Amino acid sequence: MSAWGNISTKWDNSESLINKDKDTDDSGVEEKFDESYKKFIEKTYQVINHIEEIGMPQKNEQIRIVTFRSFNTVHFINYIAKKEIIEHLVLAVYSINAEAARFINDMINEGLIQKATILMSNLRNKAHREKEQITRDLFVNNPKVDLFFLQSHAKIVAMKTIDDNYYAIEGSGNLSYNSRVEQYVIDNDEGFYNFTVNWMQKVRELLKGKKELIET
């Protein structure tokens, strides 16, 4: 049993949230959608085993870190939520495990995260069935979670806190545990937070009514 109790892994094909019919040829994303954000900010570099070794960046600061031990990006979210309530959590998720999903859902239900917008990849990787069950069991039925699916390989965490911090985390790691070497970039930058929120909304609007987008 995990630290968050038993997780159901039963699968029911009747309500698949993962899109089997790829629609990239006529979705319009490739031709119509490009976004960029550029800003020069102070950077620091660290190699860590635990988040507490570095803390989080100050406003307009960027931290680049490398992790060597088993690590899950969800620990960044939990570390921040325990220090300052997250008003809005924005996630672009490629892969997530059951414990991370339960962890995020618990933080939302406990009021540590007030609302969440989650873009979940519907690319058919080896963990897709687990992702479907996790989202069905937890996120779909949570009124504070706005969940949608599309063909994405993005791995982004962005959040606005009640202390007026705007953290963003990008990296090679997923919301699942592994012992691989992973690199992360952590920003405290309102402009980057807004950039992430805006591009997710734009691509969602662009794909409205197309098979590539699944909204819950």
CA torsion sign for 175, 181, 186, 192 is: negative
Mention the CATH class of domain 18-28+40-215: alpha beta
- Average pLDDT estimate for 163-181: 78
Output the pTM of the full model.
0.74
* pLDDT tens track for 36-51: 545 444 444 444 456 6
* pLDDT tens track for 15-72: 555 554 544 455 555 555 555 545 444 444 444 456 666 778 899 999 888 777 656 7
Could you tell me if 90 and 157 are in contact, meaning their C-beta atoms sit under 8 angstroms apart? yes
